[in-house]
Chain A
Amino acid sequence: MNFDFSDEAKELGEQARKLLAEKAGTGPARKAMAADAPAMDAALWKEIAELGWTAARVPEAHGGLGLTVEEVAQLAEAAGGSLAHLPLVSTLLATEALVLAGTEAQQAKWLPGIASGEIIACVAWSEPGAVSPATVKTVSSGSALTGVKQPVADLAVAHVAIVAAAGADGPQLYIIDLKDAQSAVVETVDLVRRHGKLTLSATPAEALGTAGDYQDWLDRAAVILAYEAIGTAGAAMAMTVDYAKTRVAFGQKIGRYQAVKHKCADMYIKLELARAHALHGLAMIGTNGAELRQVAAAARVASLDALAYCAEENVQLHGGIGFTWESDCQFYYRRNRALVAALGPRGWWADRLVRALEQRNSAAA
């Protein structure tokens, strides 16, 4: 039995956490929150690109390192834990789509630039009125798309967008060169990560794979985003635990009170359940396992549960100070909304999990 990350992936994760602990975190996040702050930390982006993070998943033939999704997961967790002001997870999600479904020509066009860090990519499925990745209304005329996409994470700094739109067999992915599209800033609840509005009016687009590939990509994206959520939830838990060890009330450290420590234990429980399912997701992606649909949905739901609980109770256990603008609690609390918006709500994914279980049961019967 070998149900664990490879040593190589763990090592990259270690390196990433170390660098981001130094160069990212809540301090830089607070600076990024200012209205006139840049939409990403460009110096840090350059540094991580030189370290090969954006090249991790890109095949060697296209200038990348040809690593596995385990390395991607480690990077996503490190980014989530440090609130890094980088379009890293967006680019990793887009890379996964290109690696999964791109033609040779599409990969040759985009992946070398992604590997070197010169090209930043984003993912645009969300639309006004769309509550899940299944219900997109942007229309395709074959080689052009028309519709509105928002909120799109990291749109302001991206060069290319992977866009979900209605296709002949259901929703599917397209590639848009953002030179051809009209972008605007959209304010969101998350004051650190920048989001945008992408207006498509017969904008040139290339189909990226099939409707089936879109569904497969959603599974992979769910697993990668589960790791970002696990990173953020873990950081919120660590913040709570640190505070409970130092804050005194009624003559005791508040961590002595079961009303406080049991919430910390529940944070840990939810986080470990999320880790178990997310790791299962990586195992299924790595082996092309048939159960990926249900496993990815479980990872998504469990990670959102962990993040919501850790972020919310982090504010609660800090008490009044946690509700101030100066407190760092708000970063995790707000980021929780961003990670829900990133791939659709818990309810839709829970239903997707049950549909996958039903299909497996009827196939077995």
Chain B
Amino acid sequence: MDFNDAPQEAEYRAVVRAWLNENATEYRDPPPEGMKLPEFIARSKAWQAKKHAAGYTGITWPKMFGGQGLTPMHSIIYGQEESRWHVPQGLYSIGLGMCIPTVFTHGNPEVVQRYVPKALLGEEVWCQLFSEPAAGSDLAGIRTKAVREGDEWVIDGQKVWTSFAHASDFGIVVCRTDPNMPKHKGLTMFIVNMKAPGVTVKGIKQMSGGSDFNEVFFDGVRVNDSHRLGAVGDGWKVALTTLMHERLAVGGKPRYAPGYETLMKLAKGVEAPDGSPAIGASDVRQKIAQTYINDQGIKLTQMRALSALSKGQVPGPEQSISKVVVAKTMQDLASFALDLSGGDGFVAGADADPELAKLQGSYIGSAGLRIAGGTDEILRNIIAERVLGLPGDMRPDKDTPFNQAVPA
């Protein structure tokens, strides 16, 4: 066993590293605090264009769609090397990671030709419009409707939790096109122009105070039928292809989140109830051990998946445990460390200790992480049903026409 690259992987890594050393020098240091959106977009576009010219975009995509036709391992290696630099991150991750693969899998040739190259080059930004106020975990319960009028569809409704909607040119939106069908069957996916008349984007202010997401309102927005992705009524299947691409994204403890080292350091400086240094207290040591086991265990589980990919195999289902472990571990660690700090852990703002402020941020942020991209509860359902083969939850509305389903 070893953690080394296979020879051809090492070769690719060396080429990538040399290119980054040559081309990423302006991203050596973190960007200035409080960068405004237009500047972030400009920086992101400049970096994407540079990557594109050098052949580091669409690494796993087929060549016919402008990709490099390489393996997931190549993409992971590029990502690992790029993460050593402070290049702009995030603007394209949903568009290129999820939306565009859906477009080139389900779109007609004209649509693919029109949208895919510009997205890959970074000229146009994409967002994904799935969740709704009444359709979160129960995603197929969406109510945004699209009604056919000749060659066009007219969209009315509301989406929520849309990342980068305010910076996006286009989006993929899943709508209810036939309320007489059961809920998974009456859906259809479309490409929508985010600058079209009738589209309104409003930022959501989160519990953390930040604004990373939006609400998007559709009021009589018109989409040509050529911008439909997949057949009418196949929207759920199309959405599943999109979400499958999300699965490939490797999750782990966010880089900014405090880990066991933070607790070890903190516990040396504070006192246990008996006045001795907290680092000697049994409960503190148990919490350090548990945090290490959870965070490191997820890192190692990902290495198991990478080993499978490296051998050209499909990774096992164990990857599915990542987020449910990481998010709760983050919350437990932050909560424990703040407890340990007494009143100091509660004082915020200019008077706060910077390390404790980070833990406060982690405590609040982890509450969101336990929900985003699949709640703890939905992820446990997925493990139980897809990995262990247990029967699905009771779903009284599953086979009933959507417009006749009533709460049990």
Chain A residues near B (Cβ < 8 Å): 1-4, 6, 70, 241, 244-245, 252-253, 255-256, 258, 260-262, 264-266, 268-269, 272-277, 279-280, 282-283, 286-287, 294, 297-298, 301-302, 305, 347, 350-351, 353-354, 357-358, 361
Chain A, interface SS category? helix
**Is B256 close to A, CB under 8 A?**
no
Partner of B390, one of A4, A264, A276, A305: A264
* B350 close to A (CB within 8 Å): no
Point out the residues of chain A lying under 8 angstroms from B384, CB to CB: 255, 261-262, 264-265, 268
B387 and A261 within 8 A (CB) = no
Contacts of B377 in A (CB 8 A): 258, 262
Q: Across the interface, do A4 and B304 meet the contact criterion of CB distance under 8 Å? A: yes
A223 to chain B, nearest CB (A): 13
Residues of B within 8 A of A (CB): 1-6, 9, 260-261, 264, 282, 285-286, 288-290, 292-294, 296-298, 300-301, 303-304, 306-308, 310-311, 318, 321, 324-325, 377, 379-381, 383-385, 387-394
Known: A255-B384, A264-B388, A264-B390. 20 other contacts (CB 8 A): A1-B6, A1-B9, A2-B4, A2-B6, A2-B310, A3-B300, A256-B393, A258-B381, A260-B390, A261-B388, A269-B325, A276-B296, A276-B318, A279-B1, A280-B300, A298-B296, A298-B297, A301-B293, A351-B289, A357-B260
Q: Pick from A268, A276, A294, A361: contact of B300, CB below 8 A.
A: A276
Considering the chains assembled together, what is the distance between the CA atoms of A70 and B2 in angstroms?
13
The answer, among B260, B307, B387, B394, for a CB contact under 8 Å with A4, is: B307
Q: Which of A1, A70, A264 contacts B307 (CB 8 A)?
A: A1
Count of A-B contacts judged by CB separation below 8 Å: 154
**CB-based contact A298/B381 at 8 Å:** no
B391 touching A256, Cβ below 8 Å: yes
8 Å CB contact of B380 from A265, A286, A298, A351: A265
Q: 7 closest pairs, A vs B, by CB?
A: A261-B384, A276-B300, A350-B289, A273-B297, A255-B390, A265-B380, A265-B383
Nearest residue in B to A256 (C-beta to C-beta)? Answer: B391
Most buried by A among B5, B289, B318, B391: B289
A287 to B4, CA, bound (A): 13
The answer to whether B385 and A261 have CB atoms under 8 Å apart is yes
B309 to chain A, nearest CB (A): 8
CB distance from A274 to the nearest CB of B (A): 8
Closest chain-A Cβ to B38's Cβ sits at a distance in Å of 40
Q: Would B380 and A266 count as touching, CB distance under 8 A? A: yes
CB pair B1–A3 under 8 Å, yes or no, is yes
Residues of A within 8 A of B388 (CB): 241, 261, 264-265, 268
**Are B307 and A245 in touch, CB under 8 angstroms?**
no
State in angstroms the CA–CA spacing of A347 and B286 once bound together. Answer: 7
Q: Are B303 and A1 in contact (CB under 8 A)?
A: yes
Distance (Å) between the CB of B291 and the closest chain A CB? 10
Are A353 and B292 in touch, CB under 8 angstroms? yes
What are 5 of the A-B contact pairs (CB < 8 Å)?
A2-B6, A241-B388, A260-B390, A272-B321, A283-B1
Knowing A275-B318, A301-B293, A357-B260, the reply to whether A262 touches B380 (Cβ < 8 A) is yes
Which partner residue on chain A sits nearest B390 by CB separation?
Answer: A255
* Cα A337 to Cα B377 with chains together (Å): 31
Given contacts A1-B307, A273-B321, contact A268 B387 (CB under 8 A): yes
Give the residue of A272, A301, A350 whose beta carbon is less than 8 angstroms from that of B318.
Answer: A272
Chain B hits for A272, CB < 8 A: 297, 301, 318, 321
Nearest opposing residue in chain B for A295, CB measure = B296
Q: By the criterion CB–CB under 8 Å, are B282 and A347 in contact?
A: yes
Contact status B390-A244, CB under 8 Å: yes
Are A261 and B390 also in contact (CB < 8 A) when A273-B325, A347-B286 are? yes
In angstroms, Cα B393 to Cα A1, docked, is 38
Closest to B302 in A: A276
The CA-CA distance from A154 to B293 in the complex, in Å, is: 31
Given the complex of chains A and B, what is the CA–CA distance between A244 and B380 in angstroms?
15
- Write out the residue numbers on chain A whose beta carbons fall within 8 Å of the beta carbon of B260: 357
CA distance A353 to B290 in the complex (A): 10
Contact of A1 (CB < 8 Å), options: B4, B282, B297, B391:
B4
Q: Across the two chains, which residue of chain A brings its CB closest to B297?
A: A273
